[in-house]
């Protein structure tokens, strides 16, 4: 049976289990070890989504909170505490598609880089760089939220969850607008 192991920093490492005949005999063909007798019963590992693509002067960024269990789900794409760096070319239109994979309400704001980490109340760095809609209820788990803006000023910014206390709890990453980048990219520290 093949499986993927997730480590604390969000990486997934391949692994495997070799099951002996004695184990199958002890638990039977329907027990945990019996899964070796039924290869179709083994689950396929989840495929890592493509987090960013560039089409012309448009960068498409996918953000998923709770994609894995990094930082107890208070993360974007399996990264927290600034471990993910999204870089987009200066002047690109950025289309963010955000999904919350956990039952705790979250959103996405792209704000000026600052410490201490803020909560709600910080204006987005670019007009439209938020999924938060004042007065509207937070969409439910799995419901896509969108943000569209132009990365009009080079510099370092933050992707945060604007729900009070979430950014301070580590739900933030880095967003860079680069005058030299040709395409959008994502790296993990």
Neighbours of 20 (CB within 10 A): 10
Dump pLDDT digits (tens) for 11-45: 443 433 333 333 333 334 333 333 333 344 444 45
pLDDT tier for residue 114 given thresholds of 50, 70 and 90? very high
**What is the model's pLDDT at position 20?**
34
* pLDDT, mean over the chain: 80
Find, among 53, 128, 59, the residue nearest to 89 by Cα.
59
Which CATH fold would you assign to the domain 52-188? Immunoglobulin-like (2.60.40)
Q: Which are the contacts of 46, defined by CB distance < 8 A and separation ≥ 6? A: 4
**What is the model's pLDDT at position 47?**
73
d(CA 42, CA 1): 6
* Four-point Cα dihedral 129, 72, 48, 187, nearest 10: 60
CB 82 within 8 A of CB 172: yes
Domain ranges of the chain: 2-41, 52-188
**What is the model's pLDDT at position 46?**
60
**What is the model's pLDDT at position 120?**
67
Mean pLDDT along residues 125-149 = 91
**19 token code pair:** 């099951």
* Four-point Cα dihedral 64, 157, 104, 168, nearest 10: 140
Dump pLDDT digits (tens) for 58-111: 999 999 999 999 999 999 999 999 999 999 999 999 999 999 999 999 999 999
């Amino acid at each position: 049976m093949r499986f993927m192991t997730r480590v604390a920093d969000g990486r997934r490492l391949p692994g495997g289990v070799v099951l002996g005949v004695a184990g199958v005999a002890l638990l039977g063909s329907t027990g945990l070890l019996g899964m070796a007798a039924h290869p179709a019963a083994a689950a396929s590992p989840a495929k890592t989504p493509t987090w960013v693509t560039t089409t012309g002067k448009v960068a498409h960024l996918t953000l998923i909170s709770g994609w894995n269990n990094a930082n107890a789900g208070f993360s974007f794409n399996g990264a927290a505490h600034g471990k993910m760096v999204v870089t987009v070319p200066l002047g690109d239109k950025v289309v963010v598609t955000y999904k919350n994979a956990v039952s705790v309400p979250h959103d996405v704001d792209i704000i000026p880089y600052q410490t201490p980490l803020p909560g709600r109340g910080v204006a987005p760095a670019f007009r439209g760089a938020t999924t938060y809609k004042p007065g509207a209820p937070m969409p439910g788990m799995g419901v896509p939220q969108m943000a569209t803006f132009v990365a009009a000023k080079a510099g370092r910014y933050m992707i945060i969850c604007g729900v009070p206390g979430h950014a301070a709890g580590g739900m933030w990453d880095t967003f860079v607008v680069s005058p030299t980048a040709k395409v959008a990219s994502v790296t993990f520290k």
